[in-house]
Amino acid sequence: MVAAAVATHLLLLLASSLVSFTLAIPRIPSGAVSVSTPLGTAQGTLDVDGANRFSVRYATASRWKASTIVTQWQLPNGSGDPAALPLQCPQIRVDASTFSEDCLSMILYVPVDISAGSKVPTLVWIHGGSFDSGSATGPGLDGSKLAIATHSIVAVIQYRLGALGLLAPNGPTNLAVTDTINALKFLGKILPSFGGDASKVTLAGQSSGASMIRTLLAVPSASSLFRSAILQSDPMDYGFLSPPTQSLLQTTFNDLVNCSTTDTACHSALPISSILSAQVTLENEANALDPAAGQGEPLRPVRDGQLITTPLDSTAPFPAVNKPLLLTNVKNEGGPTVYELLFPGGPQPAALFVPVCDFSLGEDRTEIVMNSGFYPVDPNGDSRHPMEVLTTDYVWRCPTWTLARNWVSHGAPAYVGMYTLGATYPANADTPFCLASGNVCHRDDIYIVFGTTPNPTPAQTALTLEMQARYRMFLLTGSPNAPGLEPWAPVSSSGNVPAKELGSKTTSDGLYPPAACAPSFWGAAAQYDYQVFNI
């Protein structure tokens, strides 16, 4: 019974990222604005936080077909209101009136003192949500304050999610990835009109948004579209899907929707509710169909050898690189998974730790973990604590540190940070663990970066000011070191990772300890999922 319950819960791993909030950005316009672009006149409005806001459709796409960049400026969803925000892409757990398949849109935030000829950098934000939820209008993603603080243009983009972006029955993979590439190409056309320099684009994103950026780093044809990247809380342990795994998931999905590969009329006639229902069924069954799909993010980009040419991990020769990276995690990435999804009812006995590990890691890795000393289990304590530490290390923190070491050893700088202070994100507001003093859960860095924390404390305000100053310098120079702030050392060529604590200092030197993220443990003695499944 315990194993069955654990299996059921673990199928929801990371599903907290599925929670989507609709149109959280204020709609109240303060005034109309317009900009002349090569695609026509861009109409926008003065955002309530002080920057000019432009919502725009960047591409169009028929269902399960490649997207095409628009050739003229268009407001999202056929709207005639420049203040209107784009509908989100189809997804579960939201009202159907809030989404549309016509969702390839973005929102630009441009400080009022930036105009054509300014040549400022651009930060492109890619939202999280396990590749099957989220939008450009999620909580805290109003980019006005971030744009003003960094004196840059902030673009928050959307791309097709779930089955519509990653499970085309007629064969093409990675539609969501090519959507994102088209968003960057669109920006290259119009940024100079707004005062941006198309050669100074930095990608930033959280969770699966960071995974999408890692994907773009593995796409040679996208390399010229951006010059640096910020990855926040990327669940790198999963890696990309392999073609055989993707093919199995695709075949299963085709069976669920009961359309043959070539029956385009059947594809077009499917109600969106049927597509989403089949998607949910597949996501729940994916790990049982093929453990390489994983338990938390089974629908994700596939390394097809054509668009995505490298795993960008430790399973194959690492390519030469030249883009600076800023890589961050939060202290308790695994908090929502363990304390909200798996065991929300209260403390769990120590005896549960091993079966949970067995299900997630298999017996061999579980034995290594149990003998490591990194995850001690108090015989009389709550086993959720070591579960959370293990989940944070294994899914997020340690594979991030491994990527940083690989990145630096192959040609480009990388900076690693750990948020030891955050601001509770709405999806975490009902999880007592995430509300406890000192805990920083997955997504609790979003408000801090955007400067959108409701009623911030002085410490939160100070951290926001610091991070926005560091982001400004990273956009300009590829380094997060800013005047008046403590130095942030890059990862060394020897593999030392000086992970800077962002917020509260928990160590005397302000560097987060490696512990299980030392090179000899995760990725070596205990392998990541992408190594175990050779993906």
Kindly list the catalytic residues. Answer: 207
3-state secondary structure of 111: strand
- The structure tokens listed for 353 are 């730790």
The identity of residue 190, as a single letter, is: I
Choose among 517, 524, 199: nearest CA to 368: 524
What 3 state SS string does 123-169 have? EEEECCCCCCCCCCCCCCCCCHHHHHHHCCEEEEECCCCHHHHHCCC
The identity of residue 490, as a single letter, is: P
The DSSP result for 337-402, as a single string, is: IIIIII-TTS---GGGHHHHHHHHHHHHHHHHHHHHSSS---TTS-THHHHHHHHIIIIIIHHHHH
Q: Report the alpha-carbon distance of residue 369 to residue 267 in Å, rounded.
A: 46
> Which one-letter DSSP state was computed for residue 511?
B
Distances (CA, A) of 408 to 219, 281, 524: 19, 41, 18
Q: What is the CB neighbour count within 10 angstroms for residue 229?
A: 23
